[in-house]
A and B are shown apart, each in its own frame.
Chain A
Amino acid sequence: MQEAGAWPGGTMTNSIEVSKLVKTYGSLRAVDGLDCDVRTGEVFSFLGPNGAGKTTTVEILEGLRRKTSGEVRVLGFDPWTQLDQVRSRIGVTPQDFHFFPKLTPREALRLYANLFGVKPDVDELLARVELQDKANDYYDTLSGGQHQKMGVALALVNDPELLFLDEPTTGLDPRARRAIWEVIRHLKLEGRTVFLTTHYLEEAQQLSDRIAIINRGRIIATGSPVDIIARFGRPERLRVVGDPALADRIATLGLHVERVDGAVEVELRSKADALAILALVASSGLRWDRFSIQTDTLEDVFISMVGRLEDGSTPGAIPEEAGK
């Protein structure tokens, strides 16, 4: 770990360093020995089911909550005791963002700018989150999606080098979600570090350099989406739709064969296996309709690691706990 003073000399490559972080509420261990590092300039996503400890961890990093034990460094500082050094260099969009009902987005941005003592281009910020048309409407007349956009714009007022976006697209329609994604991509291009929590796996996959999957207060996997799928996902599979008897024929090649939804799926140990299967099917004289290659998505990996939710819904539709 670098000395606090070493930042921003460029020698430090991690914007966030967390080790053995613990947060307890009474007997509940919301965060249970969590370790993670966020590299400067990357988009890092926190994925996890409800109550996994995502928001608690993020709020500790933002200096909004006191840790029980462990080590936390944000830009080289302890965010709870040295918040003054951290605050002007980070931007935060909290989960479940709320603002003063009778202020407009423009007034809110001006207020933040004045409090930070900076002079941002307010119109540019509004345009960036596509709120220019609602700039002078009271917060309480805006939609949920517009609230989130305003939250993101506020996080950008002080030109932060590190952003925490806690579920910034929850509740947004697909178009608004993509607009926020563009904002996040733009932030990365500008060299900012983004710490994103989301329960949209597609979002994490699309935007993140690295992902951490958190469950029961611990990180159970970290890496790029491709890494995680490669490491924790099943091998690629060839799927054949056709005569059920194909399964037994293919099994003669010594491959692992399963029947899935009326089709035959074969785990591939190598690309050559695929060619062998195709040759076998062609020469078998049995009926076949369709071939496809099946690859695990991040969602498949997530579900296999964290488990299907009790209500049977997919993680993409997790209703997040209210304001934990």
Chain B
Amino acid sequence: MNFRRIAAYFPAFAKGYIRNPLGLFMSLIFPVILILIFGAVFSNSGSSQVPLTVENLDHNSPASVAFLSALNSTGVVTVNVVSPDVGNLSTYLAHNDLSAGLVIPAGFNATLSACAAHLPSCGPVQLLVFTNPSSGSEAGIVEGAVQGVANGENLRIAGGTVVVAPVNLNVGNQLYRYIDYLVPGLIGFSVLVAPMFSMVNVSSTWKRDKLFRQLSLTPLTRGEWLTATFLWYVLLAFVSTLLLLGVGTAVFGAHVTLTLLALPFLVVGPILFVSIGLLAGSVSKTPETAGVIGNIITFPMMFLSGTFFPVSLFPSWLVPVAHALPLYYVIDGLNAAMVFGNASAAYLDLAVTTVLAVIFSLAAVRFFSWRED
């Protein structure tokens, strides 16, 4: 391994790549377009927060106001208080085409105070929650939020002191927004797509045009060539990550941090997919076949690895399929490192990715020959 030759070859490969607009588009621009589209479609605040219409029959008592404020700060519902004059809330909701409502009964404050003071008049307070069963996820969100805040109240009253605030009870997956998953997902997407599309092409058309033969006439070795190629795609992965992070946070306010733990994925991931692309291209007889094989490998991974939607939302039968795809571990690891701050999960994913990268890069070195027998 001669670093002078790697340094000599790297800029030539980079120039060839940069001067081909399609490659640059696929690796850097396309993921940004995707984050803008998917971010805009799924992340607007109206759809991620369910509007909850509240009829407060307890005359804005301190307890009821505190409860509603706790509900509002869960971030998953937006509380809109209507006047008790509207009468039957169920009818009101139906007339105004609303799907979720909550009635706080009269005496809410009094009952809570009685319970806090352990008076005999303490008894269950019934909160009426109206949801539309046909919008299942919204119904779940509303019921979950109300239940969560209620639990908080219950604990507070039972314990006598405010130890657990209602909002904390609801810290769970709901607090992560779609855009938070989308940023690591699309970083994974570009880690996959940039090498796969061009390496399949490189390994098949370069073979056809005898460009590897041309390189083999120089002292550059296959290992040096591969190293320079890895370096280029690692660089692309870093650039793409910065772009996606920038757009995700600046445009959509994503809560994603580029932690140290995310960096190894941006190194090992490109190595893995450069190797897979190289193998796919070198087992193919023609560039056309190579393109087809490349797509067969790339497309399922592109959609089933948690790129656009978290795998946790997949139907259970599809989850094992996702777990069989190498990109899943890259994206799961990036999520763990950048969104959840879950180091142990990230280490596990990194281990899987690294093992795969070692296997595939060794296979690529083994099967990918410059000279012909």
List residues of chain A with CB under 8 Å of any chain B CB. 59, 62-66, 84, 87-88, 92, 94, 96-103, 107, 111-112, 114-117, 138, 323
Contacts and interface: CB of A to CB of B under 8 A. Distances in A.
A140 to B, nearest CB: 10
A96 B210 CA distance: 9
B207 to A, nearest CB: 11
A111 B8 contact: yes
B287 to A, nearest CB: 13
A65 B371 contact: yes
Contacts of A116: 218-219
B216 A65 contact: no
Contacts of B4: 114, 117
Nearest to B8: A114
Interface stretch (B14-22, B155-163, B189-197, B264-272): B14-22
B324 interface: no
7 contacts: A84-B219, A94-B214, A100-B16, A102-B19, A114-B5, A117-B4, A138-B19
B: interface residue count bin: 20 to 34
A94 B12 contact: no
Nearest to B218: A115
B368 interface: no
B373 A111 contact: no
B219 A88 contact: yes
Among A96, A102, A107, max chain B CB count under 10 A is at A102
Given A99-B211, A100-B12, A103-B16, A64 B218 contact: no
Contacts of B9: 111, 114-115
A65 B373 CA distance: 5
A101 B16 contact: yes
B63 to A, nearest CB: 71
Interface in B208-254: 209-211, 213-214, 216-220
B85 interface: no
B15 A103 contact: yes
Contacts of B373: 65-66
Interface of B: 4-5, 7-9, 12, 15-16, 19-20, 209-211, 213-214, 216-220, 371-373
A99 B220 CA distance: 15
A98 B211 contact: yes
B210 A115 contact: no
Given A64-B213, A98-B209, A117-B4, A112 B16 contact: no
Contacts of A63: 371
Given A102-B19, A116-B218, 13 more contacts: A63-B371, A64-B217, A64-B371, A64-B372, A65-B373, A66-B371, A66-B373, A84-B219, A87-B218, A99-B211, A101-B20, A107-B15, A117-B219
A87 B211 contact: no
A99 B212 CA distance: 10
Contacts of A59: 372
Contacts of B214: 94, 97-99
